[in-house]
């Protein structure tokens, strides 16, 4: 594993942990709220939990198809789960380092860092805050990036993803004018131990890494304050620099919006503006026969001396119209349709939180970005008050969390291609607490239409589309005072842009935990995973079992 990527998530989590005293001692004045958390006026700041732990277990992993290999591992893991919420600030972290030590001459020892972190620190209460987030996850390359199947048997089919971002956000008022602003810098990386080829033996250019930059400022007045209607102006810029073939995605825009109240709960909204969107890249280095050069990592080698070629360039008018519906503080809908990227666009959000026990969130999105930008945006949309749901056998974080409100799923990884794309889709999540039972469901559809410059090695991808559907479920139930039962399940369907084929991946797992002492817990878990992939000549099926101990400090 690359040392820089290995340290990325712990460093980001350490920054959030370092802010714990500030979170617990957040200024109690005022009635504001930290982003992603619902605050009760007058409620004291509160520290919920910081739970470091160590786990030791024995794992039996059987490959049922296409072979019948059986391998055993000793699994050693250390981690921390943290959730601290103050009046204006909040942070949640689930970080885990795991080492699997195999037995036998053909065994492979593996190291994995996985987790998710998200935090908001109020620098000036109700005005200026600092946000940060980090993500580490893994998936199977031979599943087209669309699965999180048990990777213990084949490390060479594994890819690891890291994403982190940080930046300030502003929300204040100058007279009757409300000001909102955000600035973010992000970094994203993918690591894999082998080159990926499709069913025809052609290399698939897997995403390497990228930097993202985002800045946005909005000024506006609410309806009835200065005018009968609300008015606002917004300007923003986004850029992603992708290492593969020196790709660059740049989006500059300015727009004006009007909000027209129809009733106390309903308003019509509309906006018009200017946007300049450009996607460009360089070509791959060519050998003496004109064939693209592929490096040892399976990625095309960039010809840094080649000129930058424009793949997508839209310069002109954008507009949209829609409706806002907010019948109560627990229900909110905003839906818009318009013109962007020289074509029709749809986007919106819907949240419904009938009580502290349940929450539903739906988001429809449309944007031009790279793989890294999609990870950063999904991570930034996560609440800073959550508990991560993990696979009880592998310890993997699959993108599903439980929280009090807002988004509770980080969208499926989908395609691992390096090419920039226009991503459109929908993701939804629902969670509910029913007595001793807590359950969460995430589902989504993602469609990526690739953008590549003519005359370059990626040109055959231009206009082609990858599609992925995913469903992930997690549930836990307390079994008396000293025991609990946890179950997870997922289904991923991936349709490739090329003729390399489709992928279906499914899995289910269950774990039983029982307290032996106040800090020591016994664990037993089983899992089944199946991958039907046209990227590989054979399907793969695994059965895994674990017994072990966990000690909470």
User: Tell me, what's the pLDDT at 509?
Assistant: 92
Distance CA(499)–CA(469), nearest Å, equals 18
SS3 state of residue 434: strand
List, for residues 132-183, the tens digit of each pLDDT value.
999 998 776 554 444 444 544 455 556 788 999 999 999 999 999 999 999 9
Distance CA(298)–CA(69), nearest Å, equals 28
118-10-84 Cα angle (round to 5): 40
Containing 492, the helix (H) or strand (E) segment is strand 483-495
List, for residues 74-124, the tens digit of each pLDDT value.
999 999 999 998 888 999 999 999 998 887 766 677 788 899 999 999 999
User: Tell me, what's the pLDDT at 513?
Assistant: 95
- Average pLDDT over every residue of 12-31: 42
Full DSSP string of 206-270 = B--EEEEEEEEEEEEE-TTTSSSSEEEEEEEEEEEEETGGGEEEEEEEEEEEEEEESSSSEEEEE
Mean pLDDT, the chain, as a whole number? 83
Task: Flag whether pLDDT at 58 surpasses 90.
Answer: yes
- In percent, the amount of the chain with pLDDT more than 70 equals 82
User: Tell me, what's the pLDDT at 398?
Assistant: 76
List, for residues 496-529, the tens digit of each pLDDT value.
877 666 788 888 999 999 999 999 999 999 999 8
Full DSSP string of 52-121 = EEEEEEEEEEEEEES---EEEEEEEEEEEEEEEE-SS-EEEEEEEEEEEEE-STT---EEEEEEEEEEEE
Distance CA(271)–CA(334), nearest Å, equals 13
**188: containing domain:** 3-552
Task: Flag whether pLDDT at 3 surpasses 70.
Answer: no
- Average pLDDT over every residue of 457-462: 91
Yes or no: say if 552 and 522 are a contact pair by the CB < 8 Å rule. Answer: no
**Location of structure tokens 């409300």:** 178
User: Tell me, what's the pLDDT at 43?
Assistant: 34
List, for residues 209-232, the tens digit of each pLDDT value.
999 999 999 999 999 888 999 999
Task: Flag whether pLDDT at 403 surpasses 80.
Answer: no
- Average pLDDT over every residue of 249-269: 96
List, for residues 279-292, the tens digit of each pLDDT value.
999 999 999 888 89
Domain total in the chain: 1
Distance CA(76)–CA(150), nearest Å, equals 17
User: Tell me, what's the pLDDT at 155?
Assistant: 53
Yes or no: say if 455 and 283 are a contact pair by the CB < 8 Å rule. Answer: yes
């Amino acid at each position: 594993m690359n040392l820089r990527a290995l340290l990325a998530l712990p460093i980001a989590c350490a920054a959030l942990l370092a802010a714990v005293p500030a979170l617990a001692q957040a200024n109690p004045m005022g009635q504001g709220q930290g982003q992603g958390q619902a605050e009760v006026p007058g409620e004291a700041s509160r520290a919920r939990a910081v739970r470091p732990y160590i786990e030791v277990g024995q794992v039996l992993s059987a490959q049922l198809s296409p072979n019948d290999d059986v391998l055993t591992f000793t699994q050693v893991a250390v981690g921390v789960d943290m959730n601290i919420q103050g009046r204006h600030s909040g942070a949640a972290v689930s970080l885990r380092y795991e080492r699997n030590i195999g037995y036998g001459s053909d065994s492979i020892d593996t190291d994995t860092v996985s987790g998710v972190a998200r935090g908001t620190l109020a620098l000036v209460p109700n005005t200026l805050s600092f946000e940060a987030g980090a993500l580490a996850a893994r998936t199977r390359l031979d599943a087209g990036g669309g699965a999180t199947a048990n990777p213990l048997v084949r490390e060479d089919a594994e890819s690891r993803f890291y994403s982190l971002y940080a930046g300030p956000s502003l929300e204040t008022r100058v007279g009757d004018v409300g000001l909102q602003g955000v600035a973010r810098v992000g970094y994203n990386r993918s690591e894999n131990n082998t080159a990926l080829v499709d069913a025809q033996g052609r290399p698939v250019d897997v995403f390497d890494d990228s930097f993202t930059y985002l800045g946005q400022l909005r000024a506006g007045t609410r309806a009835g304050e200065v005018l009968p209607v609300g008015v606002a102006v917004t300007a923003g810029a986004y850029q992603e620099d992708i290492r593969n073939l020196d790709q660059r995605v740049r989006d500059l825009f300015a727009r004006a919006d009007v909000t027209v109240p129809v009733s106390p709960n309903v308003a019509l909204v509309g906006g018009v503006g200017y946007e300049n969107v450009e996607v460009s890249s360089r070509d791959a280095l060519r050998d003496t026969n004109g064939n693209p050069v592929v490096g040892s990592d399976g990625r095309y080698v960039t010809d840094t001396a080649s000129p930058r070629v424009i793949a997508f360039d839209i310069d002109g008018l954008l507009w949209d119209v829609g409706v806002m519906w907010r019948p109560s503080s627990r229900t909110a809908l905003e839906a818009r349709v318009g013109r962007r990227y020289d074509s029709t666009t749809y986007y919106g959000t819907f949240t419904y939180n009938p009580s502290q026990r349940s929450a539903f969130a739906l988001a429809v999105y449309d944007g031009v970005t790279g793989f890294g930008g999609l990870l950063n945006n999904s991570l930034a949309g996560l609440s800073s008050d959550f508990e991560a749901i993990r696979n009880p056998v592998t310890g993997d974080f699959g993108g599903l969390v439980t929280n009090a409100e807002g988004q509770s799923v980080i969208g499926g990884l989908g395609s691992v291609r390096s090419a920039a794309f226009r991503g459109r889709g929908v993701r939804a999540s629902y969670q509910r607490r029913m007595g001793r039972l807590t359950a969460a469901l995430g589902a989504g559809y993602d469609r990526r239409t690739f953008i590549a410059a003519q005359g370059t090695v990626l040109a055959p991808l231009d206009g082609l589309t990858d599609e992925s559907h995913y469903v992930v479920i997690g549930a836990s139930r307390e079994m008396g005072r000293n025991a609990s039962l946890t179950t997870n399940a997922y289904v991923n369907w991936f349709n490739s842009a090329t003729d390399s084929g489709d992928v279906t991946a499914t899995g289910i797992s269950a774990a039983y935990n029982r307290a032996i002492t106040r800090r020591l817990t016994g664990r037993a878990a089983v899992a089944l995973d199946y991958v039907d992939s046209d990227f590989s000549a054979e399907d793969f099926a695994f059965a895994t079992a674990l017994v072990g101990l966990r000690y909470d400090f």
